[in-house]
Amino acid sequence: GESVGLHLPTLSVQEGDNSIINCAYSNSASDYFIWYKQESGKGPQFIIDIRSNMDKRQGQRVTVLLNKTVKHLSLQIAATQPGDSAVYFCAENNYGQNFVFGPGTRLSVLP
Amino acid sequence: DAGVIQSPRHEVTEMGQEVTLRCKPISGHDYLFWYRQTMMRGLELLIYFNNNVPIDDSGMPEDRFSAKMPNASFSTLKIQPSEPRDSAVYFCASSLGQTYNEQFFGPGTRLTVL
């Protein structure tokens, strides 16, 4: 087995609080970004996306912010619930090239 | 609607054996992707197909790995011979178009090579 692995950043929040998950992307030419949620034992699931001509996009309880100047993406989850506990990945895409996934952040919702 | 279907969900095999992972993409999707996820490297793209044709296999780690897509509704990822370091979760994903379109992931196959 593997004795050394990725140390996933972990964010712990109280149920009902807002969560902010951050992601630094690598390619300044990337023009499309997706946030995925991965629950234990499941595949990644789409949450929200944003194109580079926008700096903010809102969904249901989620908001994605894009700062192209510093190549930073964030996912805000309002009123975090126990069901939000998962690993969250950002993925970037550069004009039709393949998606590159970040290492992920583990969100732990405390009761 | 059935999502992306993968089989088996779990596979335990011994070093040196051949392993075949299977994937059925979402009907109508023209792109299919194979990923590998490990704690060491995270989520890595192995290979992807467009309209059943392999487009980029630069992520395939070695000649021991091969992938095929004989038709629009079926793809396989084969490892022969398997090694313990191949132990990982293998995901298949499909999408309609490549750019500006989300990829739909299957539940994954957890492979353990002893």
Over residues A47-85, the pLDDT tens digits come to: 999 999 999 999 999 999 999 999 999 999 999 999 999
Inter-chain CB proximity B40 and A5 less than 8 Å: yes
Set of chain A residues whose Cβ sits within 8 Å of the Cβ of B102: 34, 46, 49
Inter-chain CB proximity B91 and A103 less than 8 Å: no
B1 inside 8 A of chain A by CB: no
Asked if the peptide bond before residue B70 counts as cis, ω within 30 degrees of 0, the response is no
Set of chain A residues whose Cβ sits within 8 Å of the Cβ of B100: 32, 49, 51, 93
Strands A32-38 and A19-24: unpaired
The pLDDT mean for chain B works out to: 94
Q: In chain A, whose CA is at the least distance from the CA of B32?
A: A98
How far apart (Å, rounded) are the C-alpha atoms in residues A13 and A99?
29
Tell me the shortest Cα–Cα distance from A67 to chain B, in angstroms.
19
Average pLDDT score over residue span B93-112 = 90
Asked if the peptide bond before residue B81 counts as cis, ω within 30 degrees of 0, the response is yes
Inter-chain CB proximity B39 and A32 less than 8 Å: no
Inter-chain CB proximity B40 and A49 less than 8 Å: no
The pLDDT of residue A45: 94
Q: Are the C-beta atoms of residues B112 and B82 closer than 8 Å to each other?
A: no
How far apart (Å, rounded) are the C-alpha atoms in residues A85 and A42?
13
Q: Using H for helix, E for strand and C for coil, what is the string for chain B?
A: CCCCEEECCEEEECCCCCEEEEEECCCCCCEEEEEEEECCCEEEEEEEEECCEEEECCCCCCCCEEEEEEECCEEEEEECCCCHHHCEEEEEEEECCCCCCCCEECCCEEEEEC
Inter-chain CB proximity B39 and A2 less than 8 Å: yes
The pLDDT of residue A4: 41
Under the banding of pLDDT at 50, 70 and 90, the label for residue B26 is very high
Question: Phi-psi bin for A16: left (phi > 0), alpha (psi -120 to 50), beta?
Answer: left
Under the banding of pLDDT at 50, 70 and 90, the label for residue A94 is confident
